Amino acid sequence: MILVCTGRNVLLPGIPSPVPATLTIDLSTGKLIHIADGYQTTNPDRRDSTVRWIDAGDKTVLPGLVDAHVHLNEPGRTDWEGFRTGTKAAISGGVTTVVDMPLNSIPPTTTVENLRLKQAAAFEQCYSDVAFWGGVIPGNQEHLKPLLASGIKGFKCFLIESGVDEFPCVSTQDLELSMNELQNTSTVLLFHAELGSAAAKEDALDVTLYSTFLDSRPQQLETDAVSLITSLQKKYPALRCHIVHLSASSALPLIRAGKSAGLNLTVETCFHYLCLSATDIPNGHPEFKCCPPVRDAANQDLLWDALKEGLIDCVVSDHSPCVAELKKLDEGDVIGAWGGISTLGLGLSLLWTEGRRRGVSIAQIVQWTSLKTAEHAGLGHLKGQLKVGLDGDFIIWDPDAEFMVTSDSLNFKNKISPYIGMTLQGRVEQSYLRGILVYDVATHGQPAESVAIGQLL
């Protein structure tokens, strides 16, 4: 059985805008086996029962996106999120692969035993493919290579308290021990790059003011962290280091200098840093809180410039949900609330809505959210582009559709998001995983016959 998808606007590798093309996917393997130039107006195999035919017409055909920074929180905190709800949300936004962070599940992914518990929890629950990051915490150095051998794509650590007791931050000594262990491998070490401590809460401060929270996490925390990371890289030059969710433009000169000097360094930022501005955040709305924080419009402009320049490599969601009580919505307590923004399913539309105003093309967006994220997570041989030999993951997307984000339209578990009420441009019509339809907006979700066919990578 094969699937053929033809369209007038197909985004192929190395081409700056979509072109007419026809894709052929072998459904027995899920691989893209042929790409032909041109749009086929009729189905030449309409009498062949072994051929499924999709005509995308004028809609845009894009590779499935890869979100390399997602907190699915299962097992242990499945009231926050879970594999089933999180991956359903992902495919609704064209994300056909997610890479799950080692926290905030209980236990965290810091040993092979804990990884096996997470994989068991994910079994037959996933609507997208799922890969896993491992964690570096004090004292777990002996577990790192066994985790790599078990399929972990890389490791994340915190230079500041993580917010959960079971995933403590690391010291410089811990880092040196871990980097020494990993330096001759092909893996990557991810850093939550804030160094030091958030400013302590003072009784006289108004905890409902967004500025109170913003002032407690200054850009200097990120700059100091990047300085430490780049200095350590000089000692362990073979090990790639990756800065997660960069929000501080003040760190960009250090990053530029490090990359120019040949450091093996990559950087991501997030949809919320590119699409939200501190100036526009109302007081008493903890749904806008994340760590590091959303900063001002001038900072946002510099992040966009760095992204377009290639100084920032990719864009991810950092989907980090929690239960409503922990967001302290009723109290409006921005300081005391859990720090995390829920975004799964909205990223492509957010980036297209904002990027369009900044002269950004869909090819650039797909490079940042699919090709580069796949490469970052060690999945470039499977995902990230419409290329013969790779998985046949693709989406049909309407760049001109508009929709308002409502609580009911969100597909993740806890319907809390700063984007509720926004009107966004660009909508995913259908998502295909290895050639199988897993999401269809026309049926308000996945098709009735769909099963959780996502694989653990």
**Per-residue confidence (pLDDT) for residue 449, from 0 to 100:** 62
Residue 188: is its pLDDT beyond 80?
A: yes
At position 83, the amino acid (one-letter code) is F
Average pLDDT over residues 291-311: 98
pLDDT band at 48 (very low <50, low <70, confident <90, very high): confident
Sole residue written with tokens 């320049």: 309
pLDDT band at 57 (very low <50, low <70, confident <90, very high): very high
**Per-residue confidence (pLDDT) for residue 205, from 0 to 100:** 87
DSSP state of 175: H
**Residues 221, 218: Cα–Cα separation, whole Å:** 6
**Per-residue confidence (pLDDT) for residue 196, from 0 to 100:** 84
Angle CA 380–78–418, to nearest 5: 75
Per-residue pLDDT reduced to its tens digit, 108-128:
999 999 999 999 999 999 999
Residue 42: is its pLDDT beyond 80?
A: no
| More confident site: 203 or 275 | 275
Q: 19 pairs with which residues across the strands?
A: 10
Is 173 in contact with 180 (CB distance < 8 Å)?
no
**Residues 395, 166: Cα–Cα separation, whole Å:** 38
Is 62 in contact with 395 (CB distance < 8 Å)?
yes
Residue 200: is its pLDDT beyond 70?
A: no
Is 86 in contact with 98 (CB distance < 8 Å)?
yes
DSSP state of 341: B
Write the DSSP string, 430-446.
Answer: EEEETTEEEEEGGGTBS
Residue 347: is its pLDDT beyond 90?
A: yes
Structure tokens at 432: 């295909």
Q: What percent of the chain has pLDDT over 70?
A: 96
Q: Of 205, 376, 198, 225, give the one whose Cα is nearest residue 291.
A: 198
**Per-residue confidence (pLDDT) for residue 342, from 0 to 100:** 96
**Per-residue confidence (pLDDT) for residue 15, from 0 to 100:** 94
Residue 44: is its pLDDT beyond 70?
A: no
Tally of residues, the chain: 457
Average pLDDT over residues 68-92: 97
The mean of the pLDDT values for the chain is 95
Edge to edge, the sheet with strand 436-440 lists 31-37, 19-26, 2-10, 51-63, 394-404, 423-433, 436-440
**Per-residue confidence (pLDDT) for residue 440, from 0 to 100:** 95
Is 427 in contact with 397 (CB distance < 8 Å)?
yes
Per-residue pLDDT reduced to its tens digit, 443-456:
876 665 667 999 99
Q: What percent of the chain has pLDDT over 90?
A: 93
**Residues 182, 141: Cα–Cα separation, whole Å:** 9
Q: Of 219, 400, 407, give the one whose Cα is nearest residue 298.
A: 219
**Per-residue confidence (pLDDT) for residue 444, from 0 to 100:** 74
Q: Name the H helices within 310-427.
A: 324-327, 347-357, 362-366, 372-376
Sole residue written with tokens 């985004």: 11
Per-residue pLDDT reduced to its tens digit, 393-417:
999 999 999 999 999 999 999 999 9
Q: Which residues of 128-159 are buried (b: 16+ CB within 10 A; e: fewer)?
A: bbbbbbbbbbeebbebbeebbebebbbbbbbb
Structure tokens at 95: 């994300």
At position 216, the amino acid (one-letter code) is S
Average pLDDT over residues 168-173: 96
**Residues 453, 438: Cα–Cα separation, whole Å:** 8
- Rounded CA Rg of the chain: 21
